[in-house]
Amino acid sequence: MFQRESLIKHYVFLCIDIFALAVSFVLANYLRFKEIRLLEYENLYINVFIISIIACVAGNIILKLDRHIFDRGAYQEFLAVCKSAFCIGVSVMVYFFLSQQGINYSRLQWAYYFSIYFLTAYTGHQLAKLIIARYYKNSRSCKKIMLITSTDKVKDILEKFQRTNNWYFEITCITIVDQDLSGTKIEKIPVIASRDTMLEKAKNIALDGVFINVSYESHLVFDVRQTLHDFQEMGVIVHVNIDALELDVTDKVIENLGFFKVVSYASKLREPGQLVLKRCMDIAGGMVGILFTLFIGVFVAIAIKIDSPGPVIFYQNRVGKNGRHFKMYKFRSMYIDAEERKKDLLQQNEMKGAMFKITNDPRITRVGGFIRKYSIDELPQFFNVLKGDMSLVGTRPPTVEEVQKYKTEQKRRLSVTPGMTGLWQTSGRSEIYDFDEIVKLDLEYIDKWSIGLDIKLLVKTIVVCLRGEGAR
């Protein structure tokens, strides 16, 4: 669950260290000679800088200096930066000894180099922790956690969370399993459910994970194993206190959740590097797609305006990853009173399940039929991709109304970022009239996801759009 936070710790602070090396490298040379003389011994300086970077990276890995960064106080941070500087100093001295180049490098410049590096890296680390913690805590990305516990443990657990720097998650609600305290608050956090109502409540709130930590006595009235599987079917990651029973599920990993060691269970855990690559693909594809959208949008806008009154861009509230709501953009393909007319057409619904769909929908305009056939109406979603609400490839983004009708296991569709295209869109979406079949395709995508699969689906989507096999 906290793979992206792990990447922040590994890469953000490493970038700060490399930046500190670059700054100290240039300033040390200037302070020593009152001008920049890096070209005088160009190869020497380049080698020293490269060795410094390698030593910095190796030191972080070997000494594990990237662990518990946000739990380190000022003194612990001082020691960590000292260790990093020591690794760099030893490596450069070894290089000077082996290459016999030390005589060409000023000792005073050497002193400036490490002094400036230490001050820059230490200050950068401390500022980064403050900025990241403040930004992340107030951002949409901050993980929303439901605490499932018992009355005898809840205050102790919340107190321990308050004593740690929980910058990447917050306890947003509580479930008490041994009493029904729904509607009350504990330490200003609302108790929203009992053990009998927690699943129903969890279906309709933004939720990234649950933390289960109940007393031994509560196990007599609370089935941890069943609760774990229920939330896993919903696609919600479950953190169980490390002292709990070992449970057999698909994927699990031991990690930190603030003060506590937990076993995190999920139907599918992703590799951080793969997620970063996927996001890079989204950003690149989103930027290219926006340029194409702006170009073709001029002609589409004119056609829409001539064809029927109303705005060019239509937006609708959709449900994204882990229940977050966002506005999804499209070129308008229906008349402006489409939502009102839908009520009169519900009896003609040809879709089995939570979705609504009819052949030859009378709400679709003439231009709308054309742009839907070639999926041109979906081009504005590239803006959603660039914002991070959607991905190029993912599950179908459902409406709020659909999600309210979900079965427990169907919410697992929301465990990944929805996409502009996916298995459903490229598997004859015009021919599918069973909502359970669409869910099956989305879950198949989640279970089989890889970068290779995304690329394959993107290529297939282009072919489908060119053939005019879009929604009708």
DSSP line for 259-298: TEEEEEEES-PPPHHHHHHHHHHHHHHHHHHHHHHHHHHH
Residue 228 identity (one-letter amino acid): L
Residue 285 identity (one-letter amino acid): G
The predicted pLDDT at position 246 comes to: 46
Residue 262 has pLDDT above 90, yes or no: no
- Per-residue pLDDT tens over the stretch 200-257: 999 989 999 999 998 877 776 788 889 999 998 898 999 988 655 545 555 677 777 8
**Segments making up each domain of the chain, as ranges:** 3-137, 143-266, 272-466
> DSSP label at 245?
P
Strand partners, 274: none
Terminal-residue alpha carbon distance, the chain: 38
Split at pLDDT 50, 70, 90, the class of 40 is low
Q: Decide: pTM greater than 0.95.
A: no
Residue 225 identity (one-letter amino acid): R
Going by C-alpha positions, the residue among 305, 233, 299 that lies closest to residue 265 is 233
Percentages of the chain per state (helix, strand, coil), in multiples of 5: 55, 15, 30
- The structural architecture, per CATH, of the domain 143-266 is 3-Layer(aba) Sandwich (3.40)
Q: What percent of the chain has pLDDT over 70?
A: 91
Residue 43 has pLDDT above 90, yes or no: no
- Per-residue pLDDT tens over the stretch 117-144: 999 999 999 998 888 777 777 777 788 9
Report the 10 Å Cβ neighbour count for 60. Answer: 20
Residue 379 identity (one-letter amino acid): L
- Give mean pLDDT, residues 52-61: 86
Strands 325-331 and 260-266: unpaired
Phi, psi values for residue 350, rounded to 5°: -95, -5
CA distance 178 to 199: 16
Among 3-7, 46-50, 79-83, 428-432, the range scoring the smallest mean pLDDT is 3-7
CA distance 436 to 352: 8
Going by C-alpha positions, the residue among 195, 216, 213 that lies closest to residue 263 is 213
Residue 408 has pLDDT above 90, yes or no: no
Query: Between vectors from CA 396 to CA 209 and to CA 307, what angle results, nearest 5°?
Result: 140
CA distance 31 to 429: 67
- Give mean pLDDT, residues 381-405: 92
Whether 226 contacts 214, CB under 8 Å: no
Tokens read off for 427: 């598997």
